[in-house]
Structure 1
């Protein structure tokens, strides 16, 4: 079964209404280009590290303009959308980094809250404490689509292979990795991690990413990728903002898993701790 997918690679700013309008327009262009399922990046319509400014305007699912725009665009063009994520109000004065799968009627099929939060100190002084502003999710999500199961992850989740293997075992043939990877870590690890997750799971890995120097001061890596179940890079969007389509053949999932059946050979380690 072949499927034309679309990826949005934006340089998102801090105004969610501007971001929502740009996202809806991009979804429309991809639909016109033949995409049946569109993927967007982490923080698709607003990327803002100023938490006080974000808190002053953040809302819920019911009133988020980016989610509303994605749902309206999906319904207008009759296509599915994996909205990478938006920031929503959450518990205990912390936000939620939540992604959504939206069907071709504009209905939210399911949501996913980012499980692994980015708390790191990088060389050259970059410091991130996502957990100070966001509450983590606690549930992996794999949802059915007309073309096969789709697993949902967000950005830093990429570094945790057990999550991807669990999604594949739950029926995912595709796994979304919407991201806002830093340029520094992207150059070092982005391609190799995405290819590894595809090879380990026998899934298509579809990673829509933010790119460039953003209004809030951060810089992201871009290079939105589509990787085949055999680890081949089918699409690399480079660093320029824009959209792209890619045709994938879902039969490749079964073929890759037959050629290398390691997904079915995994064992949960219950023995003693490793020894030196």
Structure 2
């Protein structure tokens, strides 16, 4: 299949709902139809060609969509992405990758709040930082991220992985307060510093602190059972991301169980030499 490169001419005056920019959908459209694609802009709809120059990509395997420019006023990029590859050379707005079920979303810059919320599958990689509530639940939903992989090369805001149920989240930089709050299952790995109250209300799941050890809540207790086999499996899986996670298989780990305030069976994992 073929694809398109959309280059931003100028930033919109208001925020734009960009959920219609789906690689597989646009790959099946003619250039004229792509240029006429309606995008909600405030209370109006505006043709895509109003903001973007449209160029075809060489034929290749699968559907590909490339977006170039500062897209911080464009929300819901990669919303419910199920197939194809979406590359963004720049920063984006809120809800990037929310509801993803498959495919690949790669953003070179930063993403706003609620990135990868309710994600069910696929691969979402942010080259910069993300805002608050990444990999968490959509407003009104009970479940957060339910599958797939979110990789953040920069920092993350507060409530990372709130109500997360499945999947893997890897953050190379620092994260804010209440990371992994109310987490039900899954894996979160942190390479930098962590804010206050990590694992608040954690029921199940694993949080790995590859960077500096945080101040642990009093509702967590150390576990002294032999976890070497489990740790090696998890550490080797995380080591493939590189950076602060590459040395994990060579380190030992101390496990703390909780959150006992909610009878949780989760674990905060602190690697050490």
Give the TM-score category using the shorter length. under 0.3
Output the TM-score relative to the length of structure 1: 0.26
* Greater radius of gyration (CA): 2
Output the TM-score relative to the length of structure 2: 0.27
Bigger proportion of residues as helix: 1
